[in-house]
Amino acid sequence: MTDNESCRSFETRTSCPLCHEELIIRWQGDKIPYFDEVMYITAVCQCSFRFADTLILSQKEPMRYELKVEGLEDLNSRVVRSTSGTIRIPELGIHVEPGSVSDSYITNIEGVLDRIYQVVITATKWAKDEEEKHLKGLEIQKALEEAMEGKYPLTVIIEDPFGNSAIISDKVKSCVLEKEEAGHLKTGMIVFDVNSSEMELDASDSEHQLKE
């Protein structure tokens, strides 16, 4: 094994949070399109505890992408969402922010809308005893259904303080975020600021909001 390979693949040991027996954590480095350098982390204990995560190691300029979704052709636009990406649909008051269990994925606009649709269905069921929120949830579901049929125009915005998310389309508008704008975004991970002695922990698990 070369030095480079040994740095990209290694193991650490800790205690299982469930049974407290020794737990081996495997770290595997990789390089994939759009995300560049990543680290896969996996751990499996005999007691059934499992853990898996993907850390994105690269950091680019903070970016904002905006796409007007106006028809079926726009639904096929490629979307890269990293664990630090925030997705917004302003017409519906939807904000999907990174949390401590956020995952990264590559899909298209239709895939993003479907993910949000499934969350809205669940949130609407939870709000069944609150008439106003329940009706709002049903309204958002209908709008998303029509959007996935190309009948409801809306805007999909992705913002990422680390620049690892993107919308890929000839129609997309992109810009570099100002430092202050990027600073207000959640990251869903532990962030070490090289210009500060403090460590910021963003452990928000907010995945949806039903606006009243």
Res 183: pLDDT: 81
Res 104: pLDDT: 77
Res 199: pLDDT: 32
- Residue 176 domain-assigned (yes or no): yes
Both 52 and 68 in one domain: the answer is: no
- Residue 88 domain-assigned (yes or no): yes
First and final C-alpha spacing in the chain: 58
Please tell me what DSSP assigns to residue 178: P
Both 23 and 74 in one domain: the answer is: no
- Residue 131 domain-assigned (yes or no): yes
Q: Are 165 and 34 in contact (CB under 8 A)?
A: no
Which residue shows structure tokens 């850390």?
A: 55
Q: Please give the model's pTM, rounded to 2 decimal places.
A: 0.72
Number of domains in the chain: 2
24 Cβ neighbours under 8 A, 6+ residues apart:
11, 12, 13, 43
Res 188: pLDDT: 62
Both 30 and 89 in one domain: the answer is: no
Both 45 and 104 in one domain: the answer is: no
Q: Which domain covers residue 12, as residue numbers?
A: 3-56
Which residue shows structure tokens 């239709």?
A: 110
Both 186 and 148 in one domain: the answer is: yes
Res 131: pLDDT: 87
Q: 30 is written with which tokens?
A: 């990789």
Res 144: pLDDT: 95
Low-confidence ranges of the chain (pLDDT < 50): 1-3, 5-7, 189-212
Res 204: pLDDT: 38
Distance from C-alpha of 26 to C-alpha of 13, rounded to nearest angstrom: 9
